[in-house]
Amino acid sequence: MLGLSSIIGSGWLFGSWEASRVAGPAAIISWVVGAIVIGAIAFNYIELGSMFPESGGMSKYAQYSHGSLLGFIAAWANWVSLVTLIPIEAVAAVQYMNTWPWKWASWTHGFMEKGEISNQGLLVVFLFILVFTLLNYWSVNLLARFTSVISILKLGVPMLTIIMLLLSGFHSGNFTSAGGFMPYGSAAIFSATTASGIIFSYNAFQVVINMGQEIKNPKKNISRGIVISLGISIVIYVLLQFTFIGSVIPADLANGWHGVDFESPFADLAILLGIHWLAILLYLDAFVSPFGTGVSFVAQTARTLAAMKDNGHMPKFLGIINERWGVPRIAMVVNMIVSVLLVAIFRSWGTLASVISTSTLIAYLTGPVTVKSLRKMAPNFKRPIRIKLLEFMAPFAFVLASLATYWAMWPTTIKVIGVILLGLPFYFYFEWKTNWNKTGNQFKGSLWMIGYLIFISIISYLGSSDFGGINLIPYPFDFVVIIIVSLICYYWGISSYVVTKNLDNAKAVNDKVQMK
């Protein structure tokens, strides 16, 4: 329920509309491609999650195998993606509020301005972020009860929407009119996968891993939580995209799929089709779905930031856990402040979704390298779940994550990489405090990632115009270059592992694992 409550968030409210504007009816394929990308990545993390069932685990794995610098880069990238999730869910709720059709709600109609949150709407977003934080301020048990109840509604409303829209006004001709099934070419299928928030919509599978310490019987329940929640969400998202394409009024396609313009996509469709009660339910769910995801990710993001202090390159006070409630309150407050600053700068759902997708993928790149490296470094560690086909799945996931990062399009790629690099002053400050002790060894373990980030920045700029580049390397040859260089970086990465005191910390966590 926690996994589903996190995954089915604002992505279902906006993702289908955003993806159809980029790829037309072929956006259905984009959701399948996105599922394959995230599924392949999650496959690798299942073994790591069962080996190290700890709070904020995804911020620590790379550090175990490649030292503190790579661990810091991965943890910072993951934290950037998670802390951005908090304001994006608030933005989604406020954007739907902006189109409330009732007379008494006219005061909400100034929440949006030229496709972005207005100053008036920004105050409401800030209020949402505060409520998200306060609901997590008093223990994990309160969070679990809250998300279990909300998950039931979050599943029911999308399914009801699918059924009612299919019955009320499905236009099968939409799949072949307005330029055909693939009006903008095959490249658009891939760009929609990252740029339209599809990767973002699936991303929340990691909440199950990062809450590992609180999960009973992690050997079974980590994999179950990931597989079941991802499986259900994939079916729902594909059906929603199929329904959205068929429900658009054919006259609205006069200017092609690029011209389909909604502020509250599914609610607008319901009103156009005369299903007003469904529109009301959708406006309600536009509160509930983002609310459930926002609340869930306040908890996860706090644990991620608190876990980063174990790297030794963040202030120790961030990791303080409140003894009575068992939550990292200081980290929660810091995240709340950062969330407010982020949404004050990036005021649209689409922009925030691109930032989340790209930073998440960069963090995920370390997973396949780490899981394979630990097989070499620590063959005797307990592995409650030892995944099969790792020799294929690890490099496969690395390549898919690389391609999906490229699909975010220039200049989003370089902007997000720049945000990730902003964290390095923290790292070097703490290295300076320890007199640069073994810093060279840490560089050895992370040089492959530094080389990779330089490469992905260059190829994003030089690559196909379909992905924002200058078209020096046209589509699909850009994909070929990315696949080849990514494989080189992957094998470079697994040969660059370093044995440090972090491996001892990993062993201490692993020793507590129950194999039964």
Torsion sign across C-alpha atoms 391, 395, 398, 404:
negative
Helix (H) or strand (E) holding 116: strand 116-117
Assigned token pair, 258: 């690029």
> Taking residues 389-415, what's their average pLDDT?
92
pTM (2 decimals)? Answer: 0.85
Per-residue confidence band for 55, with pLDDT thresholds at 50, 70 and 90: low
* Helices and strands (H and E) in the chain: how many: 22, 2
> Taking residues 94-103, what's their average pLDDT?
84
> Taking residues 290-307, what's their average pLDDT?
75
Residue 141 has pLDDT above 60, yes or no: no
- pLDDT digit string (tens) for 259-274? 888 878 888 888 888 8
Give CA–CA dist 41/364, Å, rounded: 7
2-6, 29-33, 498-502: which has the minimum mean pLDDT?
2-6
Which of 252, 355, 199, 201 has its CA nearest to residue 21?
A: 252
Per-residue confidence band for 418, with pLDDT thresholds at 50, 70 and 90: confident
Per-residue confidence band for 149, with pLDDT thresholds at 50, 70 and 90: low
- pLDDT digit string (tens) for 187-241? 999 999 988 888 888 876 766 665 555 566 666 777 787 888 888 888 999 999 9
- pLDDT digit string (tens) for 2-27? 677 667 777 888 889 999 999 999 99
How high is the pLDDT of residue 456? 94
How high is the pLDDT of residue 286? 80
How high is the pLDDT of residue 505? 87
Question: Which domain covers residue 416, as residue numbers?
Answer: 1-512
Contact 213, 53 (CB under 8 A): yes
Residues 6+ apart with CB under 8 A from 340: 87, 126, 129
Per the structure, the count of domains in the chain is 1
> Average pLDDT over the chain, rounded to whole?
85
User: Tokens 């997973």 label which residue?
Assistant: 367
79-83, 133-137, 483-487: which has the minimum mean pLDDT?
133-137
Give CA–CA dist 195/30, Å, rounded: 11
CATH of the domain at 443: 1.20.1740.10
Chain centroid offset of residue 301 CA: 12
How high is the pLDDT of residue 491? 96
How high is the pLDDT of residue 502? 84
108-117, 127-136, 206-215, 367-376: which has the minimum mean pLDDT?
206-215
> Taking residues 46-51, what's their average pLDDT?
85
Q: How far is CA 399 from CA 83, 112, 354, 362, 478, in A?
A: 26, 38, 19, 12, 13
How high is the pLDDT of residue 30? 95
> Taking residues 35-49, what's their average pLDDT?
88
User: Tokens 């059924």 label which residue?
Assistant: 163
Give CA–CA dist 472/243, Å, rounded: 38
Planar angle of CA 386, 392, 398, nearest 5 degrees: 100
Assigned token pair, 393: 């799945």
Annotate 340-366 with b (16+ C-beta within 10 A) or e (fewer).
bebbeebbbbbbbbbbbbbbbbbbbbb
- pLDDT digit string (tens) for 323-336? 666 677 888 889 99
- pLDDT digit string (tens) for 343-356? 888 888 777 888 88
Top pLDDT among 233 and 114 is at: 233
Per-residue confidence band for 252, with pLDDT thresholds at 50, 70 and 90: confident
Per-residue confidence band for 140, with pLDDT thresholds at 50, 70 and 90: low
Q: By three-state DSSP, how is residue 516 classified?
A: coil
Which of 139, 144, 143, 147 has its CA nearest to residue 327?
A: 139
How high is the pLDDT of residue 143? 56
Residue 142 has pLDDT above 60, yes or no: no
How high is the pLDDT of residue 499? 87
How high is the pLDDT of residue 513? 80
Residue 151 has pLDDT above 70, yes or no: no
How high is the pLDDT of residue 79? 86
How high is the pLDDT of residue 56? 64
Contact 171, 246 (CB under 8 A): yes
Residue 28 has pLDDT above 90, yes or no: yes
